[in-house]
Structures are given as structure tokens and as C-alpha cells.
Chains A and B, each alone.
Chain A
Amino acid sequence: MSDRTNLLRRALPVGGLLLALLVPFYLSGFWLLLGVMVMAAAIGAIGLNLLVGTAGQLSLAHAFFLAVGAYAYCWFAGAPGPGGGGITLTGLELPPLLAAVLAVATAGAAGLLFSPVAGRVRGLYLGLASLALVFLGQHLLFNLSSVTGGFNGRSVPELSVLGFELTGRDPELTLLGVPVGDRERQWYVALVCVVVAYVFARRVLAGRPGRALVLMRENETAAGVVGVPVSRYKAAAFVLSSMYAGLAGVLLAQAFQRVVPEYFGLVLSVEYLAMIVIGGLGSVTGAVLGAAFVTGLPSLLSHYSGLLTFLAEPGTSGVDPAVAARLVFGVAIVAVILLEQGGLVALGRRLRPAPRPPAGAAGQGEPGPPPDPASHPVLPPQDMTTASS
């Protein structure tokens, strides 16, 4: 039986990947755009989950690092010239692919700059301190207008390699009778990035650094005693998570084609926190599921608002799709913390047909705290241990 589960375990990702490769041939632009946004958000959420779920360091600064990634890409790849509102933009006009790499590095460097705080401050304190970055970031985005374009934002150059646009329409390309336009290409770029980000995070967590981070979260003193350089690891987790956010920012910028400062506010940080809590703290798969839920819900609600008659038109005082989505994920955060701290991933584990003996006790469908809650401050990262065993 375990052979069969093993086979399933191997077949599932391959099948899923094949399906994802075929999607652009069948679905329309709306679904492709939604998919790109979900995949970009998934990358950001994986990064945040490394920090919050695994290392136990709360951060509300994720929106800031997304902004750094998105704007750094625009600045490195963008051309100087007049922007909106009488602003003269600057830009380095580097090759876009190099600009994307530099943008991710810049996000990491911004994380490193914050490491004197991120490395020394613990858990909740970091959550409060990281708020500073969101507000500072907003201030910079509005005021550093030669780089960011100020209030009106800045248009995003296409990602391209040797004149072939990876996220645009030029040159035109038709595959098996299906035109591969900008949304299709963005889908593939995002897919490659999300797979790399997913596998990398799994490897980091399954290896030595991941175990060190978990130990640090459970007992910082013990980690220090066995030789984990605690503050360096905290800072490293922060830097890695900001680089993930940077990559997510670059991809989101491609999907939006124009970046505006308003988007990168505290609300966005809270949305990313919602993703990892709903998906499952400490789990890479959970981050992806949570990203799909939080990103997908508002779009789906407004797409089907014709069918969902209880939702009001946007702009009226009733519950419009955006408000409904926010209410749902606010309630979902509370419900996950109170009822099932493992989030969607743990829910999926419960529904699995043949749970292994240790999971059997939790599989009775009774919502409640785990047997010994004191020793499991967040979620024990079972996801990772099963992956490596």
C-alpha cells in the first residue's frame, strides 16, 4: 500500500505540471492572468512562510519587499524619459533578464539592511517593527518619483531575451494553431519561477538550515547551545524571504504592466499573512494553496457576480465582491487559528484515505488543540519531514 502511495506521490506533481503546461491552450485571458497572479503570489507566500511559519519570525513588511522587487526591475530595465504628472523618470536600460535578477538581489539587499533589527528581535517584536518598513516604503514610493514615477506609478518593461519577449506579444508566435500571446507567455514564465521557488524552498527546509530554523523557533536557547548561529540564521531567513518577495514583485509587475504605489500598502502584507495562515504555517504546499485562495477569491467573486445575486455592485454601500472576499479571508484567518492551525494542508491530510498511525489520532474530525499544544507553538512541519523520509 505504501508503494501505491509512493507512486501517487511521484505521479501527482508530474501530472500537475503537464496539466499546467497545457492550460494556456485551452483557457482564456482572464484565467491566464488570474493564474499568473496566483503563481506570483505563491512565490511571495512561500518566502513569507519560510520566515513566519518555519523560523517563527512574524513579518508585516512583505509588501515592502514586493515593491522593492517590482520597482527595482522597472528602474533597472526601464528607459529614462518623461513619466506621468510632469515627472522625469530615470532608468538604466539594462537587459530585462539581468534587471530581473538584479531586482531580486536588490530585494535581498534591502532585507540585509534591515538585518540589524531582523537578526536581534524576536517573533512578535519583529512583527511590530516590520510595520516601519511598509510605511517607510510607501513614503519612498510616493516621494522618490524619479525612480518610482510617484503617485502615477511607472510602466513595466517587457521581460525579453535577445529580442524575444517572454511576457509580451513580440515577435508573434503560434503553436499548434494557438497564438501564444502575452498572457500565455507570462503563464509559462511564472510557472517556471514557481516550480523553481517551490523546489528550492523544499530543499532548504528538508536540509540542515530548515531543521536549524525549526529548532530555533521551538527553542532558541537550545538552538544556540547545539551551535546554530541564531541571529545569523534569523537574518538569513529574513533575507531569503525578501528575495522571494522580490521575485514575486517582478512577476506581478509583468502581469499588471504598470506598478502604482497604492497597491503595496499594509493591506497587501496582511493578505500575504492570510495566505500562509490559511494554507498552513510552515508548509510550502500550504503557501501555494493559500495564495490561490486569497488571490483567486476576489477575482472569482467579481467574475461570477452575475450569478451571485447577494453581492452588491462595486461602489454601492452593499457587500461588493471585494468586501465579501476580505470578510471571508478575515474570518478564515480566525477560524484556522482557532480550529485547525495546520490550515488547508492539515485539512487535506485529514481527508487522506489511509492516514498513518500517528496521524490517526488527529483524524477523528474533532476540531481542537493538538495533544500537547505547549510544545507545538505553531505547526509542526510534518510536511517537510514526510518529504524527506
Chain B
Amino acid sequence: MTRLLELLAVGLSLGMLYALIAMGFVIIYKGTRVVNFAQGSLLALGAYAVARIAPSAGFWAAAAAGIVITVAGALLIRFLLARARGHDHMALAIATIGVDVVLTTELTRRIGPDVLSMLDPWGAATVRLGGVTVPQARIAAMAVAVVVLGLLLALFRYTGWGVAMRAASADAEAASLMGIRLGRVATVSWMIGGALAAGAGVFMSTFPSAGLDSHSSTIALAAIPAIILGGLDSTHGAIVGGVTVGMAKALTAGYGSELGFLGAGFGDVMPYVLMVAVLMWRPSGLFGTREFIRV
């Protein structure tokens, strides 16, 4: 029983991090209709910046700097893509794959075989809560994720920018005719997407993970099942999808010995299996807008 509880706690905390990453994808998609395949390398960029700055400036300053650098990176991509305005969304998505290749290659080269530590204040400390052991870093991650996701949902619902973004995502042309500046919506979306990637990157590289290594940019790919599960354009879906993916991963990995017939490391594949199953059932995800076409 404690084992199940422990796995659920791990799954929930991991799931909240996936929800952060998935939210980044979804916000950029809603604001600009671009699926940003460079999200993974942005995540690694943020974590890399923190790891390099933290030894001299301390964790908190480094975290702030890491977020600023990643936001700048995201804005760079946004203005690069704006040069290709009018092109279709698939071409733009492919362009972000190109950006991802460049950024990942450079980061991989810089990181090399090292494993970089975030030098975060939580270290490897753990807390016991009713017989369940949870790393402090994961509790901090969960707290941050809950606050950030809550703020974002409130932002969408109550602020002018939130309304503008929802309008732009529902019908960009009509929104533009109503005086909503699509360019500004896009800029803010990319900034939020970049900041979310940096934050998730830092927490993904703290305990219990060993640190940032050259494979870290693939972490964001594990959030792709989350956005497909929830629906590409659904913010609530991103959270539900993220938690589902985290739980599925933690449970399959935790009961790995019982599920041995599925092969070693099935936990990493489980989210993708779930994703394909959901797609067979509902092609636009659980909460995504169903496409309907008026003729």
C-alpha cells in the first residue's frame, strides 16, 4: 500500500512537471497555431544556463537569469518565424524542428559527457509524509507548478490578454478585425512558453534526477503524449494530460518487475501507448476542440 502511495506521489509530482511543459506547448499553439518542436531544446537551454551561472551567482539569481535567457531564445524563434508569415503551420513546425536541431546540437556539444548540477537549495533531502518518502525538490516543483498553472488559468480567464488570446485562437481573422493585436498575443505566448520550459527544465534536472546531461532535451518529447491526450488547444487538457502521463510513467516503472513481460524500461514507452489508444478513440484528444467544417 505504501508502495502504491509512494508511486502515486512520484507520479503526481512528475505529472505536474509534464503539465508545465505541456502548458508551454499549448500556450504557444493557442497563441500562434505553431507546434513548437524546439520546446525541448529551450528546456535544456534554461537548465544549462542555470547550471553555468549558479556556481558564481547562486541558485535564485541563476534561475532568474535562466528564465530570461530562455524567454529571449523563444522570442528569437518567434521573430524568425514571423519572417515566414503566411506560410502554413506545418512548414512553421518544421522550421522549429530545424531550430531544435541547431540548439540541441550546440548544447549537446557544450555539455559533452558531463552531468551538470543545478546547485539548488533542496539537494537530495527528502521528507516523510505519513510513511511516504518524497524528495524536497519534487515538493518544491509541485508547489511552483500549482501556483504557476493556477495563475495562468486565472490569466486566461480574467485578464484582457487572456481574452485576446482565446479570441485569437478561436478565430484569428475575426479577432484581428476586432482590434486584437495578433503580434502582441504571439509575443506574450512565446514568452510564457519559454519561461515554462526553463522552469520545467530546472526542476527536471534536480533530485531525484542526477542533473542536466546531453539527453535532457528529449524530456520535453515525453510531454507530447500529454498534449495529445488532453488536446493540443486545451489548457485544462494539458494539466490532465500531464498528470496522466506522469502517473502512467511512475506506475509502469514502479511495477516494472510485475510487468517484466513488457520488456525493460516500458515506463518510458507507456505514455506513447496511451496516446495512440486515445487517438484511436478520439482523434482530437480528450478536451481538444473537435474540428468541424462548414461547407
Query: Is B160 located at the chain interface by the 8 A CB criterion?
Result: no
Q: Once the chains are docked, how many angstroms separate the CA of A121 from the CA of B276?
A: 11
A131 vs B280: C-alpha distance when bound (angstroms)? 15
Q: Does A327 contact B (CB under 8 A)?
A: yes
Binds A, one of B60-68, B161-169, B198-206, B263-271: B263-271
**Of the residues A127, A142, A327, A373, contact of B102 by C-beta under 8 Å:** A327
- Given contacts A317-B109, A338-B80, A377-B88, whether A129 and B279 have CB atoms under 8 Å apart is yes
Q: Which segment, of A88-96, A328-336, A346-354, faces chain B?
A: A328-336
A378 near B88: Cβ-Cβ < 8 Å? yes
Find chain B residues with CB under 8 A from A143 CB.
Answer: 262-264
B157 on interface, CB distance cutoff 8 Å? no
State the Cβ distance, A324 to closest chain B Cβ, in Å: 9
Residues of A within 8 A of B90 (CB): 52, 56, 58, 123-124, 127, 377-378
* Contact count A vs B, C-beta below 8 Å: 141
Q: Which residues in A have their C-beta under 8 angstroms from that of B102?
A: 326-327, 330-331, 334
B232 in the interface (beta carbon within 8 A):
yes
Residue on B nearest A333 in the bound complex, by CB: B98
In the complex with contacts A125-B232, A334-B99, A273-B94 CB distance below 8 A:
yes
Choose one: A140, A221, A323; the contact of B295 (CB below 8 Å): A221
On whether the beta carbons of A369 and B101 are closer than 8 Å, the reply is: no
Chain B residues bordering chain A, tally (CB within 8 A): 51
Contact pattern, A 138-157, Cβ under 8 Å of B = 1, otherwise 0: 01101110000000000000
Number of interface residues of A (CB under 8 A): 51
Out of B35, B100, B225, B263, name the residue touching A127 (CB < 8 Å): B35
- Those of B48-101 within 8 Å (CB) of chain A: 80, 83-95, 97-101
Interface of A, secondary structure class, is helix
Give A327 to B41 CA distance when docked, in angstroms: 14
Distance from B83 Cβ to chain A, minimum over Cβ atoms (Å)? 5
Interface pair A124/B89, CB less than 8 Å apart? yes
Residue of A at shortest CB range from B34?
A124
Query: Are the C-beta atoms of A117 and B276 separated by less than 8 Å?
Result: yes
B171 near A: Cβ within 8 Å? no
The minimal Cβ–Cβ distance linking B216 to chain A, given in whole angstroms, is: 14
A74 to B94 CA separation, bound complex (whole angstroms): 33
CB contacts (< 8 Å) of A341 on chain B: these are 87, 91
Do residues A338 and B84 form an inter-chain contact, with CB atoms below 8 A? yes
Bound CA span A388–B111, Å: 52
The reply on B177 being an interface residue by CB < 8 A is: no
Q: How does the 8 Å CB contact mask read for B205-223 relative to A, with 1 for contact and 0 for none?
A: 0000000000000100100
In whole Å, how far is A63's beta carbon from the nearest beta carbon of chain B? 14
On chain B, the residues within 8 Å of A329 by CB distance are: 101
B224 at the interface (CB under 8 A from A): yes
Binding site for A on B (CB under 8 A): 35, 80, 83-95, 97-102, 105-106, 109-110, 112, 218, 221, 224-225, 227-228, 232, 262-266, 268-269, 272-273, 275-276, 279-280, 283-284, 291, 293, 295
26 inter-chain pairs at a CB distance below 8 angstroms, sorted by A residue, are A58-B90, A116-B280, A117-B276, A124-B89, A125-B284, A127-B90, A129-B275, A129-B279, A131-B221, A135-B268, A139-B265, A139-B269, A143-B264, A273-B94, A327-B101, A327-B105, A330-B101, A334-B80, A334-B102, A337-B95, A337-B98, A338-B95, A369-B85, A373-B86, A378-B88, A378-B91
The interface of chain A, by Cβ under 8 A from chain B, is: 52, 56, 58, 116-117, 120-125, 127-129, 131-132, 135-136, 139-140, 142-144, 220-221, 225, 266, 270, 273-274, 277, 281, 317, 319, 323, 326-327, 329-334, 337-338, 341, 369, 373-374, 377-378
6 further contact pairs, Cβ within 8 A, besides A136-B269, A338-B95, A373-B86: A117-B279, A117-B280, A124-B89, A132-B275, A317-B109, A327-B102
